Amino acid sequence: MNRRINLLIFNIFLIFACGAKAQKAEVLPYLNTKLPIDNRVDDLIGRMTLEEKSKQMVNAAEALPKLDIPQYGWWSEALHGVARAGKATIFPQAIGMAATFDPDLIFEVSSAISDEGRAMYNDAVKRGFHEICQGLTFWSPNVNIFRDPRWGRGHETYGEDPFLTGTIGSAFVKGMQGNNPKYLKTAACAKHFAVHSGPEGLRHEFNAVVSDKDLYETYLPAFKALVDVGVESVMCAYNRTDDEPCCGSNRLLTKILRNDWGFKGHVVSDCGALANIHGDHHFTQTEEQTVALAIKNQVNLNCGDTYKAIPSAVKQGLVTEAEVNVALHGLLKTRFKLGMFDPQDANPYNKIGTEVINSKEHKQLARKVAQKSVVLLKNNGTLPIAKDCPNIFVTGPMAGNIDVLIGNYYGISDDMSTILEGIAGKVAKGSKIGYRYGILPDRENLNPMDWSTGMAADADVTVAVLGISGLDEGEEGESIASSYKGDRSDISLPKSQLNYLRKLRQAAGKKKIVVVLTGGSPIASPEIVDLADAILFVWYPGEQGGNGVADVLFGDANPSGRLPITFPKSLSDLPPFENYNMVGRTYRYMDKEPLFTFGFGLSYTTFSYSNLKLSSDKIKKGEPETASFTLANTGKLAGDEVVQLYITDLQATFRVPIQSLKGIRKVALKPGQKQDISFVITPEMMSSVDETGKSLIEKGDIQITIGGASPGKRSLDLGAAEFLKGTFSIQ
């Protein structure tokens, strides 16, 4: 009898145990990969308290042990390589990438960056690390318009032109996010939305006043281009635009971004920008009011800690928990798209290993981009230098400087090549090479004795590496040599360096001087053009920058970089820094003759343009036009030409740009080789923005100009090839 009772008890135990095991094995809806993402996100949100929700909506999101969710750091950077996360490949700074005028190449770069970012994240997860800059949400690229060369953060951008910025930025986003139909490789972010380009020291309180025309014609197009290619995130800016804080702007965030453009990703505030709304802009009076303003305009993520006041704002009736849920839904959806709640083997990007980090292939790519970003501004036959040149003298404060390689927002590499090292690696054994620092970068030498200029007198070629670094220009708090919180008050070459170049010229006599300029913004010193036999502008060329620059100096690479920003002749040629009106700014509206024009850059070979043909001299409104022509390499070396298409509305009834870049094509040609090229000019390319911000096409004549720089007499004076011009009429 006892045996039967015991057996019965045992069977009952088995039934309950198996049932419990089956219940435990049941997949919760938010972990069920067969369900739509939106359903999974809603299920996860439904399992959180309001307090827990608020802690997920800040950049340092806390762990939720009850749901087995680890902490997550939303803040990661990848401006020109994975930044602030350890060892990574350092590619040329963003402004240098823009100088390539080559979106296909930049797609390669961002694909490499996202590989390294994924590998770092995969490794961090295995180790249980979940800190800042170890995530997959990268707050890059910066697609603000570099409207004024004084802005310290301009070198983070792709220059002054909306079309070029949108084209390069779109390629960057595509490479960052990958092409998997289900998963994002990483999440890119378009920043800083919108109308944000200095002054850096006033950014937390500044009100950028902008016309509807300038807003839609200049400041918004690049952001729209990135939204159109599916950028996952947009960062709202610190400042106000037309009196509305950008991170609480109904016009920018709700009307334009969400409603007009159909943006489906998440919006993140710049770090501390929500606190600025009540603390600096005084647009609201309390944290809770700021919380309500931001959430109602669907700012999903707060970089900072203002959103920890969400429960208090709900309690005060300023915002509802349902509105909080909508904002959190948009944020968490990104994590689901990155595969963070799926099985490890379901996501192919989880297989990317640490062997890709700073790999040989990525270093080679960094060197290639450095080569192609170099802009040759002058050459009287001095370049390229012969490798067996008997005596080369290298001087200048930037020759052996690591800071001029890395710009800002950079990673760390154990294989960096300074310009001095790059040159030393090229010079033939037996040739003499000398080096002296020469001059302090920002002041005259305290020691009056000068041994260096005498070396210029003896050398066959002097290479003077001059310019500025990220210590002089950049973000507030980082550029420790700037007296203006990262901005530049003087856009000339530092006086001590210009004086030193004068001494070198006097000592060298008729012997050759090559000036290599570093920096991320224009250096407006016309005298350099007179003092130097050749000038290279090399930006902040990345970890392999020295090798890449040397490749160009000694002819192993033919320079093909072009200026993504106009170099004015002096500060006096610019409107006031705080004025956001585009009149008088950039190549599109500047009426002063520049030192170097937008789109300009020379080559060691020559190109010719001929046989321009238009498909029609008259078209109906809404029809496309086709321009075809022949490009030829008329020189003795293979080279890349950056073909540029500009459009001017000759009969507009309102203010329009003098010219606008609407097409680019990078073409590689061997000596004597020709190629027939065509551009399809779409109705969108023919449209102009009127004073109300409306894009429209008017009847009248449209002029197209095709060449190797922005059109104008100055470009021709500097050595650009002749331009092809044609006109057609819109009926």
CA neighbours within 13 Å on the CB side: how many for 350? 13
Residue 183 identity:
Y
Alpha carbon of 688 to those of 655, 662, 692: distances in Å? 9, 12, 11
Alpha carbon of 61 to those of 8, 69, 331, 347, 375: distances in Å? 50, 10, 11, 23, 44
In contact, 162 and 221? CB cutoff 8 Å: yes
The residues facing 164 across adjacent strands are none
Q: What is the CA radius of gyration of the chain?
A: 28
CA 27: distance to chain centroid? Answer: 42
Catalytic residue flag (residue 42): no
CB atoms within 10 A of CB 18: 10
The residues facing 64 across adjacent strands are 69
Catalytic residue flag (residue 270): yes
Give the contacts of 351 (CB within 8 A, at least 6 positions apart). Answer: none
- 148, 244, 473, 543: the active-site residue: 473
- 148, 214, 217, 270: the active-site residue: 270
Q: Where are the beta strands (DSSP E) in 442-565?
A: 461-467, 512-518, 534-539
Residue 502 identity:
R
- 561 φ, ψ (degrees, to nearest 5): -70, 155
- Token output for 648: 């001017």
In contact, 516 and 377? CB cutoff 8 Å: no
Which strand (E) or helix (H) includes residue 662? strand 660-669
Measured between alpha carbons, how far is 502 from 518 in angstroms, rounded to an integer? 18
Nearest to 137 by CA among 303, 294, 325: 303
Describe the crossing of helices 103-127 and 162-177 by its angle, rounded to 10 degrees.
40
Q: Could you please report the per-residue DSSP string of 383-449?
A: PSPPTT-SEEEEESTTTT-SHHHH-SS--B-S----HHHHHHTTSPTTSEEEEE--S-SSS--SS--
Measured between alpha carbons, how far is 434 from 441 in angstroms, rounded to an integer? 19
Measured between alpha carbons, how far is 469 from 545 in angstroms, rounded to an integer? 14
The residues facing 633 across adjacent strands are 607
In contact, 511 and 460? CB cutoff 8 Å: yes
**Bridge pairing between strands 688-689 and 618-619:** unpaired
In contact, 473 and 155? CB cutoff 8 Å: yes
CA angle, residues 439, 443, 447, in degrees to nearest 5: 60
In contact, 528 and 513? CB cutoff 8 Å: no
- Name the residue with tokens 């192609």: 372
The residues facing 618 across adjacent strands are 729
Alpha carbon of 397 to those of 87, 115, 469, 494, 549: distances in Å? 26, 35, 10, 11, 16
Catalytic residues: 270, 473
